[in-house]
Structure 1
Amino acid sequence: MIAIALRTLRHRPGGFAATFLSAFLGASLLMAFASLLDTAAGADEASAESLGTTASVAGGWCLVIVVFAVTSTLSLAVRQRGEQFAVLRRAGATGPQLRRMIVGEAVAVAVLAAAVAVPVGLASGRVLLGLLKDTGQVAEGVGYAFGPVALAAGFGVTLVGAVIAGFATSRRTSRMGVKRERPRARRIAAGLFLGAAAGCAVLTATVMDGKGIDAMQTAGQAGIWGSIGLALLAPELLRLTGSGGQLASAVMPVTLFSGIATGTVYMQGIEDDAAAGQIRPDYARDIQTLNYVVVGMITVFVAIMLVNTLIAATVHRRREFAQLRLAGATRGQVTTMVAGEALRVTVTGILAGSAASLFTILPFGSARTGEIWPSATIAPYAVIAAIAVLLTATATLGTTRRSIRGPALLRA
């Protein structure tokens, strides 16, 4: 089955593009932050401390998001191949054989993606070190190092994430013929993430109250855990709006994007207001710079994941679009239908992300200003929502238009 997996990758590269891109970008991010630990080994004590803080906090946040992104895109790829797995089962393939094939494909994609990501991670790490030097957090004489820690993080985490995702998604093929969802396991995972978010929020509002900028460490984690938890509940959230759960894979990245971006941007705004006119300790610059770098890099990663997932999900529906046209629907009607779905996806994802961001905003505002609902303008939120709408509409409608070109009979 491993040989079949490799031949499948060779003959169907397009089917693995979404998983490859998620793994590639994730490995690049992880290598960039992990390389700061390689650099810290040859730095002075003060510089090494700043490098270690940046690598551990930002790298930890990236780690969870990267594993989640690889798992979700691989799960989507497996669901889209239900007919192929059903044929293999009818031809005599056993459940363990299919699982080995799926895990083998995931590992092959992860290894290739991590290898291609090495130069990108190296260059990104240099940029991070330059930012830390420009703000005085790292001495100018510290030389950049890209070594075993960076490579172990990039290859190791990407491979482990791919194996976990492969095993998790392959379980759905154990009784193939019918695509089986396991809502109980997904809901339990969502509950665990939301519980972690609530725990970090409580810590921020209580233990970290009065601790100044240090409260960002737990507040930022709360928003990320909350975003992942609500993203896992996408099928249930869609049903509340009267939509089917088949759009859940598209809601997840919208939720992550809007939740992480909103929480981090408003957290930084609260911090800037709270510290206005005060003399802040030197390490405050470290955390502030770290915060802007993290939100920028992670938000870009999640935005690309959003577009990546939406394009993959829409391309898979080419046959559905062709059948609708053969049944009498016009291209305009198909596009209108998809536009309506994209609107529901965007609204659901933005609302879920907004709720997730409150795990960060409310406790951090309480800890830093004593106000449960801090004073802030709606402008940043409007910009984030507009970007989410733009990305969703561009990816979904643009792919749909390309998918319905030409005669419908050839695609049915």
Structure 2
Amino acid sequence: MTSLALGQMRRRPAAFVGLAVALFLAIATLTLFGLLFAAGATAPAAARKATTGPSLMVIAGAFGEIAVLVAFFVVVNALGFALRQQHRELALLRTIAATPRQVRRLVRGQVVVTTLVVTAPGWAAGAAAARGFLAAMQRRGMAAPGVRVPWNPIPMLVAPAVALAVALAASAVAARRISRITPAAALTASSTEHGRTGALRLLAAIGVLVGGGLLLRLAATRPAEQVDKAGQAALLGSLVLLVAVALAGPLAARVLAALLGAPVRALAPGAGWLADANLRGYARRLSSAVVPVALLVGLSGTMLIMTRTAGHAAGAAASSVTSATDVWLRQAELTLLVCFAAVSTVNTLVAVTAERRREFALLRLIGATRSQLLRMLTAEAVLTTAVGVLLGAAVAGAASAAFSTAVSGSPMPSLPVAGCWWIAADATTLTLPGILTTGLRAIRGPAAGLAGGSRD
């Protein structure tokens, strides 16, 4: 199974690029905040007392808590696509007597190899980021000048171990479907999609949604002097709500696509109708493309609105140093979260579009031209972006309202209109070129060969 796993990775390296990047980010993030925590823990007592505000360990813990959760969200998403691009090969293995246990071992082997490949670069990036982050904090008086990032092997050992554990757990879930069904059904399932969202998945979505609501209630009931705690609870609540969106994604995406599809069909009768039918008919595929966009918009929108709301609520009561420090910390956290969300968005959209080569080839065989396919993809990209932005905006609105209630007593936050438009523009910039560029590559080549199942 080890040689087979390595063979699959050599034959289809593009399928593992997204997983490798996601694991690299997870290891780098764990290393970054682990080293910062170690720096705070090993700093002399005099250095700890020399600064005001939250300690280095508190900042590292608060940042790491959210960033690591987002990183793991990205890892799980990327692993799912790595397996989807191998679905046909795994199904064929099942038809030639490969057991479910052997298929799971193959997937675990691929995860282990990918993790080992990116561990050293992740360590290097995390250590460099820790030194840079600490230097930036020292320039702003948030850390004593004498504090240094220690050479501590514990964070560097924990980082790949935790990333690997999460990836292996995700692989067990992702490989469950292909390994449990019969060989003949596995081959059939490699080219089909279930039309309904399962009852267990919907129940899980409802449970997670309730959990997110409880976190937002906790954020809304924090006293005004506990702004940091309210902000962390609201941000964590937004992430939990985005998990609920991911679980209920096929249903929510189908409903929103149906509502938004009417104007697209009116503006582009041919391409718009086909795009709308594709998105509603393949709700799981649409959900896979929409969730990263919602993650990008939801997290960045929540952070941006919370920062503006906190600044307005503080007003003249806060010192300029404290205000500038808070703003910088939130901007740094926003940059980190946007980086993760952007990687997830690009990886997902490229993977979703690339796996449709056979579909595009069949459309060409029945008379569709390349320009017609590109118009269809453009309409799909517009709808995908709109659905993702709406879902993300709903999450950001709920989280920001809870935070605003805590800091100002009003559920109406201070809305940075220009910043919100920039977030929507950034989501569009990532979505449209990603889908169209990959689509151009996917429709090249002889249609007959691609329709027969060739994907290389």
- Do they fold alike, i.e. is TM over 0.5? yes
Residues 189, 120 of structure 1: alpha-carbon distance in 2 compared, 3 angstrom cutoff = farther
Shift of 1:284: 6.7
1:15-26 residue pairs with structure 2 within 5 A? 15-26=15-26
Worse-matched range after superposition: 398-407 or 348-357: 398-407
**Total equivalences in the alignment:** 412
Q: 1:350 aligns with which of 389, 393, 407?
A: 389
Structure 2: how far apart are the matches of 1:270 and 1:375? Answer: 5
Paired residues for 1:115-194 under 5 Å: 115-173=120-178, 174-175=180-181, 176-177=186-187, 178=189, 183-194=198-209
The equivalent residue for 1:41 is: 41
User: What is aligned with 1:304?
Assistant: 343
Q: Distance in 2 between matches of 1:192 and 1:148?
A: 39
Structure 1 pair 126/372, CA: closer, same or farther in 2 (3 Å)?
same
Deviation for aligned residue 1:306: 0.5
* Partner secondary structure for residue 98 of structure 2: coil
The unaligned stretches of length 5 or more in structure 1 are none
Change (3 A) 1:299 1:145: same
> Residues 99-140 of structure 1: CA distance to partner in whole angstroms, max 9, x if unpaired?
111122122212222232111111111111112111111011
Q: Which moved more, 1:384-393 or 1:154-163?
A: 154-163
SS state at 2:88 partner? helix
Is 1:213–1:271's contact at 8 Å kept on the other side of the alignment? no
Which residue of structure 2 lines up, in the alignment, with residue 331 of structure 1? 370
Structure 1 partner of 2:273: none
Change (3 A) 1:357 1:153: farther
Counterparts of 2:151 and 2:36, CA distance in 1: 8
- What is the Cα deviation at residue 282 of structure 1? 7.4
Amino acid at match of 1:303: A
Cα-to-partner distance string for 1:150-195 (whole Å, 9 max, x where unaligned): 3134202210121011100110112123258773443344334323
| 1:224-274 Cα distance to aligned partner (Å, 9 max, x none) | 222222133221112102323122211111010000000010000001111
Structure 1 equivalent of residue 87 of structure 2: 82
CA separation of 1:255 and 1:87: change in aligned 2, threshold 3 A: same
Moved more, 181-190 or 120-129: 181-190
Letter matched to residue 94 of structure 2: R
Question: Where does the alignment leave 5 or more consecutive residues of structure 2 unmatched?
Answer: 259-279, 452-456
Contact 1:50 1:286 in 2 (8 A): no
Letter in 2 for 1:107: V
Bigger shift: 280-289 or 206-215? 280-289
Q: Which deviates more, 142-151 or 113-122?
A: 142-151
After superposition, give the CA deviation of every residue in 1:1-25 in whole Å (9 maximum; x if it has no partner). 2331122223321221111111112
Q: State the shift of 1:404 in Å.
A: 2.0
Counterpart position of 2:271? none
The 5 Å alignment of 1:371-410 reads 371-410=410-449
- Give the alignment's Cα RMSD to 1 decimal: 2.2
What amino acid is the match of 2:373? V
Letter in 2 for 1:8: Q
Counterpart Cα distance in 1 of 2:316 and 2:381: 45
Match of 1:274 in 2: 313
Larger radius of gyration: 2
Q: 2:261 corresponds to which residue? A: none
State the alpha-carbon separation in 2 of the partners of residues 157 and 183 from structure 1. Answer: 30
Contact 1:47 1:137 survives alignment (8 Å)? no
Deviations 1:194-219, CA, capped at 9 Å, x for gaps: 23321121111113445344421212
Per the normalisation by structure 1, the TM-score is: 0.93
Structure 1 residues 25-64: aligned runs within 5 Å? 25-45=25-45, 47=48, 50-64=55-69
Shift of 1:358: 2.3
* Distance in 2 separating the partners of 1:8 and 1:96: 17
Report the CA distance between 1:52 and its aligned residue: 0.8
Query: Which stretch has the larger CA shift, 266-275 or 369-378?
Result: 369-378
Partner of 1:220: 235
Q: Is the 8 A contact 2:312 2:414 kept in 1?
A: no
1:230–1:208 distance in 2 versus 1, CA, 3 Å: farther
> Which is worse superposed, 275-284 or 300-309?
275-284
- Mean Cα displacement is larger for which, 131-140 or 313-322? 313-322
Residue among 211, 217, 241 paired with 1:202: 217
